[in-house]
Structure 1
Amino acid sequence: MSSTKAVIIGVDPHKMSVTIEVVDTRERLLGRARFDTDKAGYAAMCRYVKQWPARLWAVEGANGAGRPLAQRLLAAGEQVVDVPAKLAARVRLFDTGHNRKTDALDAHSVAVVAVRTDGLRELTEDGELEALRMLTDRRDELAHQRVQTVNRLQRLLSELLPGQRKRDLSATQAKAIRHHQAS
């Protein structure tokens, strides 16, 4: 581990959430939290860790489930190392006496591996993955915008039919109203 980093943030990543544990170089617990992997969750996680400006992120499986988060962190200028799942499992077994998995135990094991292990692979930014993330974010924004537009249009069209609730307006009725209004 880099001696210039005051804290290590162990990350147990999942598709919809990440659990982190922050420890110092003596493995003392400084913080623990769980965040969603959406934009709001990522922003909340970044705000949470700002209290430790000298930090190293240790991500379990940074070439697998942890890859999107690891690349996002790298794009933000963070220092990230990959912790192989086998090393984290070994630490969990030796530290707890069993190999039962919980997100908190996994995040702790990842952080401990980063404290105790020299030579973990330091990650570099992957431009292709970042481009895909940007395209996916844009697609999500467009889909959200389309749903808003359709809902707004349906609400406005339903106001043209007295006594009709928004959800009672069929696509055929909407098309007829639109056609009638255009002519």
Structure 2
Amino acid sequence: MLRLGGAYLSTSSVAQIAQPLLAAARDELQESVSLAVLDDGQSVFVGRAEAIRIVSTGAKLGGRLPAYCSATGRVLLSQKTNEEIERAILALPMTKLTSRTINEPEQVLDSIRRVNSDGYAISDEELELGMRAIAVPVRNREGTIEAALSVSVSSARVSANELTGRFLTVLLRVAERIEKAL
């Protein structure tokens, strides 16, 4: 359940409300766009608009990613206290999934804390080589992060600079529209 505007909505209700906006973002970016929530130290995809691509990121509705190295997970953890973050990231093994995975607790904590100043998180080939993602928060009326909106791309198609340029602009606009719709 997510707390939105003084009321609680199920994650499926939130995903249903957000789905047309996820689809519009997918159409504009020509990449898959997802909505995720935090559950037991993992980022869980509750909404998704899949781009039709030969090479896809493989993330599916209901899929779970470790919060410590996923863009959505870092966004979702960013409003928590250092102690809460440490509990969440240390509850699961912090495996080095690729040579680029940040899995040292202090570095993970730093990457999560950067979300507060940057307004977004990036996972650059940390989950799988050749895949990068950017995520932004979706907040309730009180300003609490309830979900993370993300786009996952092939690193061969989209540079990290393009993620923080055009892609970030679209995600921030769509996150604001989702917040208003909720």
What TM-score do the two structures reach when normalised by structure 1? 0.26
- Larger helix percent: 1
What TM-score do the two structures reach when normalised by structure 2? 0.26
- Larger strand percent: 2
